[in-house]
Amino acid sequence: MNKTSMKKVKILEIGPYPPPDSGWSVRIKYLKNDMIKNGYECRALNIGKYRKLVSSEYIDVQNGFDYIRKILKFRLRGFHLHMHMNAQAVKGPVLSLIALIISIITFDRASLTFHGGIEQLFFPKKNANNMYFIIYLNFLLSRLIICNNEAVRQEIIHYGQCIKASKIHPIPAFSIQYLEYKEIVLSEEIETFIKTKKHIILSYIALRNGFHIETLIKYLEKIPDDTGIILTGIGEIEDEEISGYYSLLNDMKNQGSILMIENLTHDQFMTLLKKSDIYLRTPVSDGVASSVLEAMTQNVPVVASENGKRPKSVITYKADDAEDMKNKINYVLSNLDEIKKALPKPFIRDTVKDEIKLLMSL
């Protein structure tokens, strides 16, 4: 594609945008930055946690009407819409469908990246319940669908009638851009906590269903005094039934067994990851999980819930079995040197480039 045609390509990325630097919000940032670097016009419409904050990095969204108004404005300016969603909540598929409908009535069909693994709250079809029709329409109406792997692709194909297999492309979420970071000095709170413990476990936890917080708490009730766990991602309570668990976590923090941190930048997370003995991953809906691969590239052993998609070197446990979690963590800590020596470095390709190439082929 020559430079003249490149300048005609305009993409509006729609999804959560950093901060926080976590999950697929980071990938949206990498997509936007790489497109701009390569001469394409790209903007990001932030529907994430800090969507109401005004920033030069993204377009803010103040409310539902503002969301519709801004999508319509960018479509009328010739931007192709690229939505990002998963099936872990109601809001994402609804917002994605609204963007799809606006795209169609303005004579285009938007692209969709479907994030997450094979088992989500409303995915695959057997889990859909009342969200079936909304998610089905997202898959049906999209011009192009990008997903994490072939297993997810097959479930999308069989989600409903008339979803064309030829438009669904599996591209792994993790990319070489995730490995770019600068080691920095961590906060005094974090450094002090690390110094008081023989072993450090790092985990990313959101206060919502799907992170198996109850299982984690049962393990923490029996955690040895010389082992500390740092929970990052702790923010507002997203599901009311989690509020009781949050109170228990606060009690454990006051007792000195855990440290809870709301958000970390990518540089902070990677620096802390490198200082950790184990990375603990609790959801099952995430597929491979980018943070799991980040840990592996830093030679940090991973203990994660079994979901059928973890890399072979990951030590897995049953997601709702605290005793199994404890046994696997203890096994790794007891054999830490041997396990680290045997850890393979995963091959990481530039999948951001692959996704951009696909978008530009439309």
Average pLDDT, the chain: 93
Instruction: Give the tens place of pLDDT for each residue, 142-171.
Output: 999 999 999 999 999 999 999 999 999 999
Mean pLDDT across 44-54: 96
List, for residues 285-304, the tens digit of each pLDDT value.
887 889 999 999 999 999 99
Q: Mean of the pLDDT values across residues 167-184?
A: 94
Measured distance CA(309)–CA(287) in Å, rounded: 5
pLDDT of residue 4: 40
Q: What is the pTM of this model?
A: 0.84
pLDDT in tens, 190-199: 999 999 999 9
Beta-ladder partners of 44: 13
pLDDT of residue 3: 45
CB 61 within 8 A of CB 70: yes
pLDDT score of 193: 97
The residue type of 1 is: M
CATH class entry, domain 183-342: alpha beta
Of 97 and 8, the structure prediction assigns the larger pLDDT to 97
216-239 average pLDDT score:
89
**One-letter amino acid identity for 213?**
I
User: pLDDT tens, 75-98?
Assistant: 999 999 999 999 999 999 999 999
Question: What are the pLDDT digits (tens) for 133-142?
Answer: 999 999 999 9
Has residue 118 got a pLDDT over 50? yes
Local confidence band at 53 (pLDDT 50, 70, 90 cut-offs) = very high
Laid out side by side, the sheet with 302-305 consists of: 258-261, 227-232, 199-204, 278-281, 302-305, 315-317
pLDDT at residue 128, rounded to an integer: 96
- 263: pLDDT confidence band, cut at 50, 70 and 90? confident
SS3 content of the chain, % helix, strand, coil (to 5): 45, 15, 40
**Structural tokens at position 200:** 């450090």
Same fold, 3-170 and 183-342: yes
What pLDDT score was predicted for residue 247? 87
Which uninterrupted H or E stretch holds 299?
A: none
Q: What is the DSSP string of 153-216?
A: HHHHHTTSTT--GGGEEE--S--GGGG-----PPPHHHHHHHHT-SEEEEEE--SSTTS-HHHH
What tokens appear for 251 in the block?
A: 């009690």
The lowest-confidence range among 62-71, 183-192, 204-213, 344-353 is: 204-213
* 3-170 topology per CATH: Rossmann fold (3.40.50)
For residue 114, give the DSSP letter. Answer: E
Lowest mean pLDDT among 18-22, 54-58, 113-117, 333-337: 18-22
- pLDDT of 2 > 50? The answer is no
- Work out the percent of the chain whose per-residue pLDDT is above 70: 98
Nearest in space to 315 (alpha carbons), one of 298, 297, 292: 292
**Cα–Cα distance for residue pair 298/162, rounded to 1 Å:** 43
Sequence spans of domains, the chain: 3-170, 183-342
Tell me the residue ranges of DSSP E strands in the chain: 10-15, 41-46, 80-85, 111-114, 144-147, 168-170, 199-204, 227-232, 258-261, 278-281, 302-305, 315-317
